[in-house]
Amino acid sequence: MKQITLRVQEEVKESLEDEAAEDGQTLSEYMRTLIEHRDEDTEDAVEYEQLQQDHERLQSEHNRLQQDHDRLQTDHDRLKQEHESLKQQHSNLQDEHKSVTETLTDKRVEAARLQEANERIQSDLDRVRSERNSAQARYQEANTKLKLHNSEKDGFFSRLGQVFSRG
């Protein structure tokens, strides 16, 4: 083995001696270990950079999925409100239809109009139910993707921890 001399500031030397002492090594042994493992540090830096890029990509995907989730939640809430409103209108029209039918049996034309309105609202209600179900399915899909993304992110942090534990 060939001997070398290295000149550093006193604070740097003290810091290196402290690190060596923490590892239970002399300063010479510690410096030798650092030099011998410098290639691994480069590999760790490359892997860290790759992990950082993966993290940024996953974070971007997470943000996009969160936006989709929020948009679908808003659509779901709107359709739910519309559904409730149409259900109430439907209920009101059914009550009105019953009352008119019971009290005004001789006004068949009016009863036919109410029946037509009731059918139209029922059709709208069916449409809204279908849209609501579709929105719920999209919401569930986005939620599943978000959970998958979060599990990928957890895996990423696990790999990141492994990189730092090697150092």
Share in percent of the chain as helix, strand, coil (round to 5) = 90, 0, 10
pLDDT of residue 41: 67
Query: What share of the chain in percent tops pLDDT 70?
Result: 96
> Encoding tokens for residue 11?
């604070």
* pLDDT lower than 70: segments of the chain: 1, 41, 104, 106, 167
- CA separation, residue 160 to residues 40, 46, 47, 122, 153 (Å): 15, 12, 9, 56, 10
pLDDT tens digit sequence for 97-121: 888 778 867 677 777 887 999 999 9
The average confidence (pLDDT) of the chain is 88
pLDDT of residue 167: 58
pLDDT of residue 39: 74
pLDDT of residue 46: 83
pLDDT of residue 103: 80
How far from each other are the two terminal CA atoms of the chain, in whole angstroms? 25
pLDDT of residue 16: 92
> Encoding tokens for residue 122?
């029922």
Report the distance separating Cα 75 and Cα 139, nearest Å.
9
pLDDT of residue 159: 74
Report the distance separating Cα 128 and Cα 111, nearest Å.
25
